[in-house]
Amino acid sequence: MPGFIVNHAGCGMNTEGLRVASQGIASFADIDRIMGKQAGFCLGPFELLDLTALDVSHPVMESIYHQFYEEARFRPSPITAATRLAGGLIGRKAGEGSFTAM
């Protein structure tokens, strides 16, 4: 199976979280809160993306997507590539969160 198991599992949480946010169903903060309080994760998808930084996370998402022959469920979100990564909003290591406040 392509990707480390943590990257593979995290990819699902991240891509679905990004899809929910892009459709306006819930905010980044609401999704993080739900995944933490209701689903029991230590970090929500956007807290995790801010911690790992998009310059690392987005290429991992792209790699997994391509290794699964462009299967739609693994497609990276335009939010990470076009909006945040291209604008230099990569996460905490750059001194600010891309999705969450520091």
pLDDT tens by residue, 13-52: 899 999 999 999 999 999 999 999 899 989 999 999 889 8
**Which burial class, exposed, middle or buried, applies to 36 when counting CB atoms under 10 A from its CB (0-12, 13-18, 19+)?**
middle
Average pLDDT, the chain: 85
Q: Residue 99 domain-assigned?
A: no
Whether 43 is covered by a domain: the verdict is yes
Residue 102, classed as helix, strand or coil, is: coil
User: Is position 81 within any domain?
Assistant: yes
Give the pair of three-digit tokens for residue 36: 């933490």
Task: Indicate whether 24 belongs to any domain.
Answer: yes
At 67, give phi and psi (nearest 5°).
Answer: -70, -20
Short-list 53, 52, 35, CA closest to 44: 35
Residue for token pair 């998009």: 54
**Residue 23 belongs to a domain:** yes
Tell me whether residue 100 is in a domain.
no
22 vs 78: CA distance, rounded Å: 9
Show the domain range for 66.
5-94
- The enclosing domain of 79 has a CATH number of 1.10.1040.50
**Count of structural domains, the chain:** 1
Look at residue 101 and tell me if it is in a domain. Answer: no
Q: How confident is the model at residue 80 (pLDDT cuts 50, 70, 90)?
A: confident
Q: Please state the pTM of the whole predicted model.
A: 0.82
Q: Is residue 47 part of a domain?
A: yes
